[in-house]
């Protein structure tokens, strides 16, 4: 069974919300400050079974020592939150492979 972020956030308590009901830019800055490593992905890229919503390039934080990723999570009426959650090593490799490697990428 594939991992689904929506289901995980509903059914697990093993994650941390770093900020909630915020603007996308504020969330991006927080991820950059919080995570020891960041990658950037296209808007709509699927990570952990859901499309990542935001303004590209979308910053995803990786903490290999803690085994976590930090990502923005947007809902229409609630703005954007930043969530840090544990993922296995294989998933970190998958997420790194989505890096568009450019700070000024425009779709």
Partner 1 sequence: MKKALVLLGCPEAPSQTPMAVYSVYKLTSLGYQVTVASTPSALKLLEVSDPEEFYVKNKIDIESCLENLEEGSFDLLVGFVHKDAAVSYFVTFYSILNTTSIAVVFERDPELLENYIESIEESTDATIVSARAYHNPTPLRVKFDRALKKLED
Does 53 participate in binding partner 1 (rule CB under 8 A)? yes
Does 1 participate in binding partner 1 (rule CB under 8 A)? no
Q: Beta strand 79-86 with 68-75: parallel, antiparallel or unpaired? A: antiparallel
Does 106 participate in binding partner 1 (rule CB under 8 A)? yes
Does 23 participate in binding partner 1 (rule CB under 8 A)? yes
R_g (Cα) of the chain, nearest Å:
13
Stretch that binds partner 1, among 8-16, 31-39, 51-59, 84-92 (CB under 8 A): 51-59
Considering beta carbons, is residue 42 or 63 the nearer one to partner 1? Answer: 42
First to last CA, the chain: 31
Angle at the Cα of 50 (from 36 to 90), degrees rounded to 5?
A: 50
């Amino acid at each position: 069974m594939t991992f689904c972020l929506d289901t995980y956030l509903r059914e697990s308590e093993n994650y941390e919300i770093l900020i909630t009901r915020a603007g996308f830019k504020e969330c991006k800055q927080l991820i950059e400050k919080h995570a020891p490593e960041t990658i950037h992905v296209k808007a709509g890229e699927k990570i952990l079974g859901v499309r990542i919503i935001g303004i590209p390039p979308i910053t995803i934080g990786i903490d290999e020592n803690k085994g976590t990723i930090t990502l923005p999570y947007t809902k229409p009426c609630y703005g954007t939150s930043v969530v840090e959650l544990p993922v296995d090593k294989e998933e970190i490799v998958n997420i790194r492979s989505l890096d568009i490697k450019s700070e000024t990428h425009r779709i």
